[in-house]
Chains A and B, each alone.
Chain A
């Protein structure tokens, strides 16, 4: 298994541009999520999904859209990039159980700079 993969690893955008950060997992996990991490800070949840066709907002959803058309993929879209969105973005997945105590597996991250 490749685990959780993210592309691209690095990206530079100009203010106002749009782009999609890709995330895929090959472990048949139902739960997927996106976090951002700013310098000296912990991770903050942007959006999450408990299964195909179901998404919900996390702590900092503004400026981001997500969709979950398949179990494997969970792309994060920046509609109009702003310098405040300069950050490292991590995607994570985990199996879903009713007890919800499964560990999350994180991808390697995408480092985004918005000029």
Chain B
């Protein structure tokens, strides 16, 4: 699996955009970048994913560099409920349609009032 590197923690003021970086310099051409988050004591929650193009949904935007070696998750207007650990994951397809998610330690985002 391609490995990812994320800063261990970040702060963001409430109402401002939160930009969470992720490096995945060994990513393969057919591997997707996924973002999940885990609010304290809960199960992880899917946020967004992408392959090459930038993506946007109701929760966030995902910006992937042209060389695909890094990406940024953007929460446009962070709220206190966005305080969580954010995981950047690269998915490897392991034959016959099966796959595994490899979670690193993620980035702990603290949204400050």
Contacts and interface: CB of A to CB of B under 8 A. Distances in A.
B87 A103 contact: no
Interface string A23-45: 00000000101010000111111
Contact of A109 (B32, B43, B99): B43
Interface stretch (A13-21, A64-72, A78-86, A90-98): A90-98
Given A50-B98, A56-B98, A100-B97, A43 B45 contact: no
Interface residues of A, number: 30
Given A45-B100, A58-B100, A100-B98, A109 B105 contact: no
A74 interface: no
Interface in A99-115: 99-101, 103-109
B91 interface: yes
A57 to B, nearest CB: 10
B93 interface: yes
B32 A42 contact: no
A92 B102 CA distance: 13
B105 A42 contact: yes
Contacts of B41: 109
Contacts of A45: 100-102
Interface in A47-67: 48, 50, 56, 58-59
6 contacts: A42-B104, A42-B105, A50-B97, A90-B44, A103-B34, A108-B43
